[in-house]
């Protein structure tokens, strides 16, 4: 609170706030009002006069309920307020003890945001994010804090998952102080790195990032589980996709003393693991035009600005340096995955992806939904043009078949290939009827292993040594038969020779193709999986 300048507290105290208020440090000014409406009203006037956020304390349901009208006024008056709302002790909150607040939605739509930290250690980061959001959204932001949280240790990282400072350039220009600060952040590093994401997928952003990377001579990593590509993945400075587990992420970024994320979160993870995101001494910054992405980044500097134009300015300001030492990804051609299967060996996903890679053109849109084979797809089918890769940002299944259909309808001159697992395809197989009905000439490549392979691998690798999954395989399911029943042409492929023949016949005409085609390719499950 001191670091944010939140040292004047407007409040009407209640029992759920006692652990916070007792022995309040002398440099925190406590301002008492006799009703919560007056509390918020005074804080509103203070914030507008000081032109910075005011700190407010509310007492659970009763206090917040009394203050709703004043919070509405604060929102319409565009007054930035950080509002701490007391809650009962979380250790018995499930039993709904006396004074437990049903706070969900109590203030309606008037708060800019509402934070409910799930652990005591998340409270400091929530307050930092609330401060940034109150400034950006020009209104009150609520942070619900359980009374016992104030007596818990904050942990080694007090800010948690929030930026130390957020810059919001009013306009993007060569003399912008935020651009100069980002350039200085990169210039001060001995071995900087860039991390790009879906927010940088577009021709202007690709051009700006390519210029920036080449001036710095620095590797460029793609965010893990990114929905779109933020950089040309056939560029010599592209260093591959970041892993989604902390220890592997630290190893991947080891040696970089500064990491700038552009159009990407910092840094997206999947399976939880203890420890920091990066090694001590590695500085983090982010540029994004997504306020939520900016406000939750655990960085020293976050810039909320248009990605392409702001990055282009930064690229003109950084000091040019040699490319020597840049760590790019190993050439895909050197991978053992490029070899065709031996006689009698089953097809695997990598065999199919390699044959696709040999034939598709750089402007092809690859729509992905094959969780167990995604690492191979990233290695073998790099995005070479904006919108060259598309996946589901949320991770739920059922995206690829309808999304590929829609992409082809919107961009009829671009070849579209959907690479889908059979388990994923079943969630929206009905989309094949629409593809056929509206003549969306998508090539749907279904990798059919007759099971939820990614779930099998997670079960085997998870827990204390893993275990046997309870769900059965489903080898009886035929995507080719389902597609035909929905009026969509389909071919069943079982061998490498059949695969090559069908791809030779189909891929060269994808740009002009009007009829969709499903290739139901029988593949053996991949033996290993790491997110």
CATH number for position 357: 3.40.50.970
**CATH number of the CATH domain containing 191:** 3.40.50.1220
- Which of 317, 347, 369 is the endpoint of a domain? 317
pLDDT at residue 254, rounded to an integer: 94
Q: Are residues 194 and 313 in the same domain?
A: yes
Q: Are residues 268 and 374 in the same domain?
A: no
Q: Are residues 238 and 368 in the same domain?
A: no
How many angstroms separate the CA atoms of 219 and 209, rounded? 11
Answer yes or no: is 134 within a domain: yes
Answer yes or no: is 285 within a domain: yes
Q: Are residues 507 and 389 in the same domain?
A: yes
pLDDT at residue 310, rounded to an integer: 95
Spans of the chain, pLDDT less than 50: 159, 325-326, 329-336
Closest CA to 431 of 354, 395, 375, 483: 483
pLDDT tens track for 222-252? 999 999 999 999 999 999 999 988 889 999 9
Closest CA to 339 of 328, 329, 326, 348: 348
Q: Are residues 55 and 90 in the same domain?
A: yes
Answer yes or no: is 527 within a domain: no
Q: Are residues 134 and 170 in the same domain?
A: no
Q: Are residues 264 and 345 in the same domain?
A: no
Answer yes or no: is 161 within a domain: no
Answer yes or no: is 529 within a domain: no
pLDDT at residue 531, rounded to an integer: 58
pLDDT at residue 341, rounded to an integer: 83
Give how many domains the chain has, as a whole number.
3
- Which of 110, 128, 151 is the endpoint of a domain? 151
Q: What's the DSSP call for residue 326? A: -
Q: Are residues 38 and 147 in the same domain?
A: yes
Domain of residue 147, residue span = 8-151
Q: Tokens 């960085």 label which residue?
A: 299
Neighbours of 325 (CB within 10 A): 12
pLDDT at residue 442, rounded to an integer: 97
Answer yes or no: is 238 within a domain: yes
pLDDT at residue 463, rounded to an integer: 55
Q: Are residues 339 and 399 in the same domain?
A: yes
Answer yes or no: is 157 within a domain: no
In three-state secondary structure terms, 81 is strand
Neighbours of 4 (CB within 10 A): 17
Q: Are residues 364 and 282 in the same domain?
A: no
Answer yes or no: is 322 within a domain: no
pLDDT at residue 334, rounded to an integer: 36
DSSP-assigned letters across all residues of 155-171: -S-TT-SS-S-EE--SS
Q: Are residues 286 and 373 in the same domain?
A: no
Give the pair of three-digit tokens for residue 525: 């499950």
- Which of 291, 317, 343 is the endpoint of a domain? 317
Q: Are residues 348 and 470 in the same domain?
A: yes
pLDDT at residue 220, rounded to an integer: 96
pLDDT at residue 331, rounded to an integer: 43
How many angstroms separate the CA atoms of 350 and 341, rounded? 10
């Amino acid at each position: 609170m001191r670091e944010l300048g939140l040292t004047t507290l407007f409040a009407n105290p209640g029992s759920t706030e006692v652990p916070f208020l007792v022995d309040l440090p002398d440099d925190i000014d406590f301002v008492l009002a006799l009703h919560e409406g007056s509390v918020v009203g005074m804080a509103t006037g203070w914030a507008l006069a000081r032109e910075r956020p005011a700190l407010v304390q509310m007492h659970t349901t009763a206090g917040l309920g009394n203050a709703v009208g004043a919070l509405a006024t604060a929102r319409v008056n565009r007054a930035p307020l950080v509002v701490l709302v007391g809650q009962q002790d979380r250790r018995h909150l499930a039993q709904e003890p006396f004074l437990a607040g049903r706070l969900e939605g109590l203030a309606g739509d008037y708060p800019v945001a509402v934070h409910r930290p799930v652990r005591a250690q998340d409270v400091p980061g929530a307050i930092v994010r609330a401060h940034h959001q109150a400034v950006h959204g020009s209104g009150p932001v609520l942070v619900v804090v359980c009374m016992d949280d104030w007596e818990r240790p904050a942990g080694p990282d007090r800010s948690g998952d929030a930026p130390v400072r957020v810059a919001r350039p009013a306009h993007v220009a060569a003399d912008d102080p935020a651009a100069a600060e980002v350039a200085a952040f990169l210039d001060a590093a001995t071995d900087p790195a860039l991390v790009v994401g879906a927010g940088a997928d577009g021709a202007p952003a690709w051009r700006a990032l390519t210029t920036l990377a080449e001036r710095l001579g620095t590797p460029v990593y793609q965010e893990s589980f990114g929905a779109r590509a933020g950089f040309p993945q056939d560029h010599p400075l592209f260093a591959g996709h970041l892993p989604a587990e902390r220890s592997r992420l630290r190893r991947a970024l080891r040696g970089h003393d500064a990491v700038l994320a552009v159009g990407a979160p910092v840094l997206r993870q999947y399976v939880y693991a203890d420890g920091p995101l990066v090694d001590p001494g590695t500085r983090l910054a982010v540029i994004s035009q997504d306020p939520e992405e900016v406000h939750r980044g655990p960085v020293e500097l976050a810039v909320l600005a248009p990605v392409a134009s702001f990055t282009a300015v930064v690229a003109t300001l950084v000091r040019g340096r040699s490319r020597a030492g840049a760590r790019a990804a190993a050439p895909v051609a050197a991978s053992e995955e490029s070899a065709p299967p031996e006689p009698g060996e089953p097809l695997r996903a990598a065999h199919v992806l390699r044959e696709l890679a040999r034939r598709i053109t750089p402007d092809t849109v690859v729509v992905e939904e094959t969780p167990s084979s995604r690492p191979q797809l990233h290695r073998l089918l790099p995005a070479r043009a904006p919108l060259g890769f598309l996946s589901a940002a949320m991770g739920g299944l059922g995206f690829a078949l309808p999304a590929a259909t829609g992409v082809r309808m919107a961009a009829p001159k671009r070849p579209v290939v959907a690479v889908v697992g059979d388990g994923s395809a079943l969630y929206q197989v009905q989309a094949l009827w629409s593809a056929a009905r509206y003549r969306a000439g998508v090539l749907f490549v279904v990798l059919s292993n007759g099971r939820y392979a990614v779930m099998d691998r997670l079960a085997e690798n998870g827990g204390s040594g893993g275990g046997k999954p309870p769900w059965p395989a489903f080898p009886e399911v035929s995507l080719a038969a389902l597609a035909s029943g929905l009026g969509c042409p389909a071919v069943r492929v079982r061998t490498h020779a059949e695969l090559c023949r069908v791809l030779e016949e189909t891929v060269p005409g994808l740009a002009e193709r009007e009829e969709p085609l499903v290739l139901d390719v029988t593949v053996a499950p991949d033996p290993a999986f790491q997110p």
